Structures are given as C-alpha cells and as structure tokens.
Chain A
Amino acid sequence: GESVGLHLPTLSVQEGDNSIINCAYSNSASDYFIWYKQESGKGPQFIIDIRSNMDKRQGQRVTVLLNKTVKHLSLQIAATQPGDSAVYFCADSKSGQNFVFGPGTRLSVLP
C-alpha cells in the first residue's frame, strides 16, 4: 500500500548546526503535509504544515520544502538546539483526511 517513509532513521548534528530531515511520500494525490515532533513518551506535537500549492513554508527556525515532482518533503531546522532532540515524523493526506505517517527520524543534538 501507499505509505510515507523516511530516508534516514537517525540523524546526529552538532549544536548550532542546521538539520535537514527528509521524507518521501508515495501518494500522488496527497495535497497536505505535516511535520510532527515527538519527545520520548509523549504525543506528537505539530511543527509546521504545507499544502501542495506551495513549495516552501517557513516557521520559527523551521522550514518545510515540498518537491511534488519527486514526491519529497524535507524539514530544515536552523541552529539546532539540544531541545530539538526528538523523533520527527512526516505525514501526508488528501485534504486532511486519512493521514499516513512515516516511521520517524531520531534527531540527536551533540554538544
């Protein structure tokens, strides 16, 4: 079946560096995408979303890029901090219905 996947299961970055977390999706009909952050033992927290009519969206220290041609999504975190250490999920959906979640990438920030 169709699913959202991640290229890297773990990512380690130095504090202060930029982080890039990647995601591939397979449903060409998907038009709404979300990135979530999940800390250990907690529920996912919304980070940023993007609709398919956009290629880029920026938030506070985060940027999401969408490449519909290759069905690829990325999350960029600027000046990564220790508090950014968590598992990051991407999810895709058609019009906000029936989200498909990837397995997640664990981001570790090194001091």
Chain B
Amino acid sequence: DGGITQSPKYLFRKEGQNVTLSCEQNLNHDAMYWYRQDPGQGLRLIYYSQIVNDFQKGDIAEGYSVSREKKESFPLTVTSAQKNPTAFYLCASIPGAGGPYNEQFFGPGTRLTVL
C-alpha cells in the first residue's frame, strides 16, 4: 500500500532532550512538509522540502531541524530550544514540487508530550 508513515505514534520527552520524529513516504512524491497542530488552531508549517538535500523554513521553524537525504524520508528533530514542543505533529507530501493544484497527503501523526 502506498502512503505516508510516521513513527512513533506517541513520544514522550524529558525537558532538555532532543527527539526525532520519523516520516516516510512511498508515493514517490517530491515535496514533503511538517506541520504542528495545537488545540483550537489550524496547522502551522514548520519546515518543507521540495527536493532532496534542500529544505525551507516555515512559519514556526525555531527550535526544529530537518534533513532530506532521501526522497522518501523527511525526519524532524525537536530540539531542546523549542520552548513548548507538546503538540500533534503531522507530516505531508505532494506529488510535484512545482506543480499546481496538488492536494497534500497526510500521515497519521505523532503526538509528542514533554514530561
């Protein structure tokens, strides 16, 4: 089955620790995105990547880092510099980096809780 997988589903972190959230897609999509979801708010863009080895900051990139070494993988690291990391994190992808009118396909999400 083609799709986007995120792991783990639940993640607990102690203050001061870095954690990495995994996002993998086998859809052969060019562009991948990371969003953060908080209660009562719309999805907010953290980082996105349109091609391998290239990525751009979104609206709330501070305290996060990403890499895009492979087309199918776009891991997100939540660093200790992120002051309020407890949230639901969603990864998404679209077929073409420059193509218009492409819906975003979402993964199942990872819920991160800071203890």
Contacts and interface: CB of A to CB of B under 8 A. Distances in A.
Interface residues of A, number: 26
Interface residues of B, number: 22
Contacts of B94: 96
Nearest to A4: B42
Interface residue SS majority, chain A: strand
Given A43-B109, A44-B90, A49 B103 contact: yes
Interface in B77-115: 90, 94, 99-109, 111
Contacts of B108: 42-43
B43 interface: yes
Nearest to A97: B100
A96 B101 contact: yes
B101 A51 contact: yes
Contacts of A91: 43, 104
A44 B102 CA distance: 15
Given A41-B111, A96-B94, A46 B103 contact: yes
Interface in A51-73: 51
Which of A4, A97, A102 has the most B CB atoms < 10 Å from its CB?
A97
Contact of A96 (B99, B106, B107): B99
